[in-house]
Amino acid sequence: MKYFISTIALTTSLLSAVLGASVTSTSGSTASVAPYLHQGAVNPLDDGFQGCGRVNSPDAYYVTVAETLYGFVYPNGNSDMCNKCIKLHGPTDTVVVEIIGPCEGCVGDSLEISDKAMDDLQSQPGVDLDRIGWEYVKCPKN
């Protein structure tokens, strides 16, 4: 019986991970997982950072990702991640930013974001810049 209950708990956790939401069992217990695939700290991106054919400026929505996420770098410094987008999830709103290069100091899922994106996140009450959920998304049309 103990093995059966452990199997049910594991199955519930796996379903939660696949569905990205809480799953409630018939006994009323829940298994929850983070709703986003990535979660990490966000730090300011230096003004004037250049990458992927873009130059960071105070009014831009740009991001750099850890070198492990940026992937293979072509001789021109670009990668297949150039100009793809990330949606940052704050407590009350989201911010979409465009990838413009690798972040040399970032580890895991941490990011560096432009001033405008940082301002938008920091304006949300209860924001924790050490634990921002994020996901890759299709870039909005400009």
57-87 core/surface letters (b: 16 or more CB in 10 A; e: else): eeebbbbbbbbebbeeeeeeebbebbebbbb
The pLDDT value recorded for residue 142 is: 63
Domain 38-137 has CATH 2.60.40.10: no
Where are the domains positioned within the chain? 2-31, 38-137
Q: What are the residues facing 95 on neighbouring strands? A: 88
Q: What percent of the chain has pLDDT over 70?
A: 74
The pLDDT value recorded for residue 4 is: 37
Q: Which stretch of 19-23, 88-92, 124-128 has the lowest confidence by average pLDDT?
A: 19-23
Going from the C-alpha of 46 to that of each of 2, 10, 90, 121, the distances in angstroms are: 55, 44, 21, 17
The pLDDT value recorded for residue 8 is: 37
pLDDT above 80: residue 141: yes
The per-residue pLDDT for range 34-90, each reduced to its tens digit, is 456 899 999 999 989 999 999 998 899 999 999 999 999 999 889 999 999 999 999
The reported pTM is: 0.73
